[in-house]
Structure 1
Amino acid sequence: MGGGDDEPTGIRCRLDDLLAARSMTLTQLSERVGVSIVNLSVLKNDRARAIRFSTLVAVCDALDCEVGELLERDRR
């Protein structure tokens, strides 16, 4: 119906899990990919409404993961 910012996107970001598995902080990731901590935090907390492909590729490269490991369908 709406499309407001509080509605779930149906996508879950596993950034927290991947950072923990790699013993990496959000600050370190931010420095590696050139994206602000604030923007990465929005992604990490599942509040992002969109992500640029270039950012997605940079995050996946820095975490040595595939897109499907970072983002998954949230079927709740």
Structure 2
Amino acid sequence: MPIAVDIDVMLARRKMSVGELADRVGITPANLAVLKNGRAKAVRFTTLAALCEVLKCQPGDLLHWEAEDASGGVLDVP
């Protein structure tokens, strides 16, 4: 998938657990895990805004685009 999710990075920087983040954002730990592991097909802007508010970050700190090659693999893009 060309959109990568960096929630783990922000959790580590904030020394916060997945359970605590899920609680504070108002979503289930299972739904947060789906998003965190890149298996989500979509994310609501309200959820993204809540994540940014709790983690005190910008959406670009949580999501970034990675180019895919013709075979569907991810290319290394700086």
**Separation in 1, partners of 2:16, 2:25:** 13
- Post-superposition Cα deviations, 1:16-74, rounded to whole Å, max 9, x if no partner, equal 01001110000000110101100100011000110000000000100000001110002
Gap regions ≥5 residues in structure 1: 1-7
Partner of 1:4: none
Output the CA distance in 1 between the equivalents of 2:7 and 2:35. Answer: 8
Identical aligned residues as a percent: 44
Pairing partner for 1:41 from 28, 33, 38: 33
Q: How much is the aligned-residue C-alpha RMSD, in angstroms? A: 0.7
Choose 1 or 2 for highest CA Rg.
Answer: 2
Please give the secondary structure, in 1, of the residue aligned with 2:64: strand
User: How far apart, CA to CA, are the structure 2 residues paired with 1:57 and 1:38?
Assistant: 19
C-alpha distance in 2 between matches for 1:15 and 1:69: 8
**Structure 1 stretches of at least 4 aligned residues deviating more than 3 Å after TM superposition:** none
Equivalences, count? 68
| 2:12 aligns with one of 9, 17, 20 | 20
